[in-house]
């Protein structure tokens, strides 16, 4: 007689199971670059809060953290939500999209495919119940703040997640590169031309820069975050460039260079160890400018996905 194989079941987490969910998520978070484990307070806020904080704006509607269980053991987690991400905020509230924020698969390889299928099926039922017909997975704007500086991208070397999402109908949408620069001595800053002024908002952990022409016309913006990265020895602060753009009419006038050098110097003076940024391939001018300032592309690719839900 064949031995009995326990079946998989998927359901939302009960409060008594939050600790198990956090341990499963942290196991994977620590395998991503520039990330730190989520502590108890952050886990409660990020995994179970109705409107968790994110680096980029998100308009949450409903959220559900799903767990896959086998013989009483947690083997997988899927963080699902409905709402509007930073690219779809202009849509009306009655047209929400589905958001897949995070997927934890079993450590046992023989359970990976079955757990993923069960979790994605339960998530699809949740999204349909929210009136959703379109889903984004690992969109850059929906990540946990301590995961890759706040970017919600799926690291390309998480091969099981990449394979299973594509097998279940998700298609690649965006590819991001990761560039980093060690911080040290200050570098020279020069104002590119007359009539420009630089304004600051926020504090050390989240500083926003705005460049104005004649004090009234906003022509460029940037944003520097201080984020934790966990190493074997300790948790160290690093700088994350979460926004950096110049109005098209003002490009090629060294305004982006001015902002970049200011962020490098501010991060150095605040004791950060590195400055990092995610960029897409089409941002060639930004990549070139970063390379001129000592940034090196790391062996990393980050992806986001989309899927149309079947009726």
What pLDDT digit, counting tens, does each position of 79-128 carry? 999 999 999 999 888 899 999 999 999 999 999 999 999 999 999 999 99
Residue 244 phi, psi (nearest 5)? -170, 100
What pLDDT is recorded for position 5? 53
Q: Does 158 reside within a domain? A: yes
188-192, long-range: CB < 8 A, 24+ apart? 188/261, 189/258, 189/261, 189/262, 189/265, 190/258, 191/258, 192/253, 192/254, 192/255, 192/257, 192/258
Distance between CA atoms of residues 298 and 301, nearest Å: 9
Inside any domain, residue 123: yes
What is the three-class DSSP state of 29? helix
* Residue 148 maps to a domain: yes
Strand partners, 154: 303
On whether both 12 and 157 belong to a single domain, the answer is: yes
Q: Verify that 162 and 192 share a domain, yes or no.
A: no
DSSP state of 150: G
Mind giving me the DSSP string for 74-85?
EEEEEEEEEEE-
Domain shared by 114 and 224, yes or no = no
Q: What angle do the packed helices 255-269 and 284-292 form, to 10 degrees?
A: 50
pTM given for the model: 0.93
Identify the pLDDT of residue 81: 97
Q: How far apart are CA 213 and CA 33, in angstroms?
A: 38
Same domain for 26 and 165?
yes
Classified as helix, coil or strand, 131 is coil
216 token code pair: 């009234």
Residues 59 and 36 in one domain: yes
4 has pLDDT over 60: no
Regarding whether 196 and 159 lie in a shared domain, the answer is no
Within this chain, do residues 104 and 253 fall inside the same structural domain, yes or no? no
Distance CA 211, CA 220 (A): 5
Categorize the per-residue pLDDT at 7 as very low, low, confident or very high, splitting at 50, 70 and 90: confident
Give the tens place of pLDDT for each residue, 181-235.
999 999 999 989 889 999 999 998 999 999 999 999 999 999 999 999 987 778 8
Is there a single domain that holds both residue 122 and residue 262? Answer: no
Listed residue (297, 284, 35) closest to 178, CA to CA: 297
Is position 15 within any domain? yes
Count how many domains the chain has. Answer: 2
Whether residue 161 sits in one domain with residue 125 = yes
The answer to the question of residue 134 being in a domain is: yes
Range of the domain at 31: 8-174+302-308
Considering the domain architecture, whether residues 32 and 165 belong to the same structural domain is answered as yes
Is 241 contained in some domain?
yes
* Residue 114 domain flag: yes
* Domain identity same for 73 and 195: no
Tell me the C-alpha distance between 130 and 123, whole Å.
11
Residue 224 located in a structural domain: yes
193, 169: one domain: no
| Residue 236's CATH number | 3.40.630.30
């Amino acid at each position: 007689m064949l031995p009995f194989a326990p079946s998989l079941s998927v359901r939302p987490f009960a409060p008594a199971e939050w600790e198990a969910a956090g341990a499963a998520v942290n196991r994977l978070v620590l395998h991503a670059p520039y990330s730190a484990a989520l502590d108890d307070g952050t886990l409660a806020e990020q995994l179970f809060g109705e409107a968790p904080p994110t680096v980029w704006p998100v308009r949450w509607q409903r959220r559900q953290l799903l767990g896959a269980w086998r013989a009483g053991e947690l083997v997988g987690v899927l963080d699902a939500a409905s709402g509007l991400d930073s690219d779809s905020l202009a849509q009306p509230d009655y047209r929400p999209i589905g958001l897949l924020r995070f997927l934890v698969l079993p450590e046992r390889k023989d359970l990976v495919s079955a757990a993923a299928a069960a979790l994605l099926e339960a998530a699809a039922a949740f999204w349909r119940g929210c009136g959703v017909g379109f889903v984004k997975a690992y969109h850059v704007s929906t990540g946990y703040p301590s995961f890759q500086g706040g970017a919600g991208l799926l690291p390309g070397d998480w091969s099981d997640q990449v394979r299973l999402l594509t097998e279940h109908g998700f298609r690649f949408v965006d590819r991001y590169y990761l560039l980093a620069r060690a911080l040290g001595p200050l570098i020279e800053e020069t104002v590119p031309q007359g009539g420009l002024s630089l304004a600051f908002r926020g504090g050390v952990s989240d500083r926003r820069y705005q460049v104005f022409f004649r004090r009234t016309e906003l022509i460029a913006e940037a944003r520097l975050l201080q984020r934790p990265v966990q190493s074997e020895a300790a948790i160290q602060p690093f700088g994350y460039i979460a926004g950096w753009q110049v109005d098209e009419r003002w490009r090629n006038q060294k305004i982006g260079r001015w902002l970049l050098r200011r962020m490098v110097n501010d991060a150095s003076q605040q004791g950060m160890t590195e400055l990092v940024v995610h960029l897409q391939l089409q941002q060639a001018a930004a990549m070139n400018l970063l390379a001129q300032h000592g940034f090196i592309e790391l062996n990393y690719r980050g992806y986001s996905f989309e899927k149309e839900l079947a009726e």
